[in-house]
Amino acid sequence: MSFFNNDYFWRAVERRAGIAQNSREDQRESWSKMFVDSALGLLLPTIILLHCICAPYTKVEESFNIQAVHDIVTYGIPHGNVSKVLATSYDHVSFPGSVPRTFVGALVLAGIVRPFSTFVSSPEQIQTLARAALGLINAAALLSLRAAVETAYGKVAGRWFVLLQAGQFHVIYYASRTLPNMFAYALTTIALRNLILVKSVSWKSRRSSRRRVMAMILLTIAGIIFRCEIAILLAVETLYQLAQRRILIIKEIIPAGIIGVAIGLATTVAVDSFFWRQFPLWPEWVGFYFNTVLGRSSEWGTSPFYFYFIDALPRLLLNPAIYFCILIGTNLAPSSDILRPQLIFIAIYSLLPHKEWRFIIYSVPAFTAVAAAGAGWIWIRRNKAWIWKLLSIALVVLTAASYVASLGFLYISSLNYPGGEALALLHQVVPLSDNSHVRIHLDNLACQTGITRFQQLHLNWTYDKTEDESRLLDPLFWLDFDYAIAEQPERVIGKWAPIGVANGYSGITLRPTNDEDDILPLPSVFQNRVGRILHRRYHDIALFSRNKITRGLWPAVKFEPRLYILKRQVSPAKSSTAMI
């Protein structure tokens, strides 16, 4: 009995129990963090796929690559009588564009999706599959950058990197779109990952040297194959590290340049000379000469020097919290070394008159990484002082608001593809089970706003895309068609009857209404059985909210007719003759 009354015994028991309890608490906390990290790891690919599915159509800037993917998946790579096969089957022969573009990105996507093409029920699903593959590649690149952010700034910063990045509409929306910039985006993002890792540790280590070389190789390949403006980013990064005496010319710059140029040129010249039937052909050099040396890019519009800083970057970053997070993050090493080359790159590129936000999209992950460092700093200190508590609340609120805004932009964007909507409507009017030969003319706006070869569902139908003005003014030309999708029906010669209209988004208004048809429609992707059920539930909830809560006030979409679906009218006499 005296043993059980011993104080030392009970203290030992209490210590053991405490250790066990702490161990269980630590284990629960570890599992909780693991769950959060896994969920965040799925956030980027999930939200990119959501944007891909909700806005399945493409526009003219994406046209070349998506048509090339279609042609490679459908017809394969020709082996015999190559020129004839390309001329009769491939879209780029009929519509070459102002300058040739590279097939490299399309060839990679086609190689990924072609094995799965037999498991889908329609060509449209192959298009979605190809875009999803590109989106997942870019998501993987961003997640690899998250790991570098964690190395540089800690786990909390890595989590905030994902949260901030997933709320940036332009990056997420275009991650799955077949722009040349988005093919280059994965390479530049992985290059940035290597540069951040180099700038976070000792630059003299052998691993840092390999990472510097890999970053320069990736930037060189991306610039040679996909977008020549990346050469400016490569030059700035290289000169900046030279100025910091953190890179070796003979052991790193020269080998990286030789390897990158050899891989990039060998790839693009071999692939594109084959498909364009010109040797040697380097499409990105032709585009650079056309747009920059000849100055033809100005024909697409010009913008002032400050456009990227005042207009493009605020739209790309979107979340206002990013700016005060960057201010805090720049005080942490190695943030200044990450941001300075990006800012210099944007400033130099601002000297060119023609500007588009997509030309500097490669810099967005760098700004987001530094902002994530600041966000992590704020979040860790949220319970230490009222200023950090206030900033952490603002960070959460503004980040949540950026997700709402991003989903709003997705909704609006999904409504602005009248070409794809018009052709889908025509396929409903003329059922796919109809095996008769139908001839359709598709005008320029229709082809620019959603129609690709993946939407041409009938193999025995003719989908004409004639642009020659002299032929369009010939009355005999229109006699060859049964249907037309046209922006200006008055220019379609002959007797035609409208059978449908594809509207385009023209704004949102907030006004009192009792019209049930004024409820904001869901995107057209929700046209299947599950989607229709979801649409009815959404409609009922929205109608109840408007009538009982907002007293008639409800956002309504403003549409305007963009494309008319026309059917040619055959005169009775001609019909009788045809029957005889």
In a domain, 138, yes or no: yes
Regarding whether 444 and 295 lie in a shared domain, the answer is no
pLDDT at 430: 85
Which amino acid appears at position 85 of this protein? V
Task: Give the angle subtended at the CA of 182 by the CAs of 177 and 183, to the nearest 5°.
Answer: 110
Tell me: the pLDDT tens digits for 193-247? 999 999 998 888 889 999 999 999 999 999 999 999 999 999 999 999 999 998 9
Q: Is residue 378 situated within a structural domain?
A: no
How far is the first Cα of the chain from the last one, in angstroms, to the nearest whole number?
A: 118
More confident residue, 520 or 497: 497
Residue 326 lies inside a defined structural domain of this protein: no
- Does some domain include residue 271? yes
Q: Quick one: which of 357, 7, 52 has its CA closest to 181? A: 357
Q: Break the chain down into helix, strand, coil percent, rounded to 5.
A: 65, 10, 25
327 in a structural domain = no
Closest alpha carbon to 423 in 482, 500, 488: 500
What is d(CA 372, CA 325) in angstroms, rounded to the nearest whole number? 7
Q: Do 430 and 282 sit in the same domain of this protein?
A: no
SS3 437: coil
Cα–Cα distance for residue pair 369/194, rounded to 1 Å: 13
Give yes or no: residues 259 and 127 share one domain. Answer: yes
The span from the CA of 426 to the CA of 530, in Å, is 22
Q: What is the DSSP letter of 439?
A: E
DSSP category for residue 291: I
The three-class DSSP label of residue 373 is helix
Which residues, in sequence order, are CB contacts of 422 under 8 Å at separation 6+?
Answer: 446, 450, 451, 485, 500, 502, 563, 565
Whether residue 575 has pLDDT greater than 60: no
Q: Which residue, of 304, 329, 346, is where some domain finishes?
A: 304
Say whether 565 sits in a helix, a strand or coil: strand
Q: Is the pLDDT of residue 3 over 80?
A: no
Same domain, 422 and 292: no
Same domain? 54 vs 184: yes
d(CA 417, CA 427): 16
Q: How many domains does the chain have?
A: 2
Same domain, 248 and 99: yes
What is the domain extent for residue 47? 38-304
Nearest by Cα to 177 from 450, 408, 407:
450
Residue 483, classed as helix, strand or coil, is: strand
Arithmetic mean of pLDDT, 41-51: 96
156 Cβ contact partners less than 8 Å away, ≥ 6 residues apart: 376, 379, 380
In a domain, 531, yes or no: no
Per-residue confidence (pLDDT) for residue 520, from 0 to 100: 66
Local structure of residue 505 (DSSP, 8 states): E
Residue where one domain finishes, among candidates 304, 327, 351: 304
Confidence (pLDDT) at 1: 47
- In DSSP terms, 500 is beta-bridged to 565
Confidence of residue 442 (pLDDT cuts 50, 70, 90): very high
Q: Are the C-beta atoms of residues 248 and 209 closer than 8 Å to each other?
A: yes
Tell whether 277 is covered by a domain. yes
Please indicate, yes or no, whether residues 295 and 435 belong to a single structural domain of this protein: no
Residue in the structure block whose two tokens are 């089970």: 433
In angstroms, the Cα distances linking 452 to 77, 174, 509 are: 20, 17, 32
Three-class DSSP category at 245: coil
DSSP 22-73: HHHHHHHHHHHHHHHHHHHHHHHHHHHHHHHHHS----GGGHHHHHHHHHHH
Candidate from 69-83, 467-481, 522-536 with smallest mean pLDDT: 522-536
Report whether 175 contacts 134 (CB < 8 A): yes
Percent of the chain with pLDDT over 70: 87
**Predicted pLDDT of residue 577:** 42
Taking the C-alpha atoms of residue 54 and residue 367, their distance in angstroms, rounded to an integer, is: 28
Whether 340 maps to a domain, the answer reads no
In the predicted model, what is the mean pLDDT of the chain?
A: 89
Q: How does pLDDT run across 363-386, given as a tens digit for each residue?
A: 999 999 999 999 999 999 999 999
Statement: residue 92 has pLDDT above 90: yes
Q: Are 406 and 167 in contact (CB under 8 A)?
A: yes
Task: Determine the Cα–Cα distance for residues 297 and 303; give it in Å rounded to an integer.
Answer: 12
Tens digit of each residue's pLDDT (9 = 90 or more) over 264-309: 999 999 999 999 999 999 999 999 999 888 888 888 889 999 999 9
pLDDT at 515 over 80: no
Confidence of residue 502 (pLDDT cuts 50, 70, 90): very high
- Taking the C-alpha atoms of residue 369 and residue 378, their distance in angstroms, rounded to an integer, is 14
> Which residue, among 231, 226, 228, 222, has the nearest Cα to 272 in the 3D structure?
226
Out of 304, 319, 347, a domain closes at 304
pLDDT given at position 576: 43
pLDDT for res 258: 98
Whole-prediction pTM: 0.90
Per-residue pLDDT for 579 more than 70? no
- For residue 72, the model assigns a pLDDT of 97
d(CA 401, CA 395): 10
- Kindly state whether residues 76 and 202 are assigned to the same domain: yes
Letter string b/e over residues 393-430, b meaning 16 or more CB atoms within 10 A of that residue's CB: eebeebbeebbeebbebbbebbbbbbbbbbbbbbbeeb
Q: For residue 503, give the nearest of 450, 549, 579 by alpha carbon.
A: 450
- If one counts every other C-beta atom within 10 angstroms of the C-beta of residue 29, the result is 10
Cβ(569)–Cβ(495) below 8 Å: yes
575 versus 398: which is more confidently predicted?
398
Residues 6+ apart with CB under 8 A from 210: none
**Tokens of residue 156, six digits:** 């909390």
Q: Residue 541 pLDDT more than 80?
A: no
Over residues 98-114, the mean pLDDT reads 96
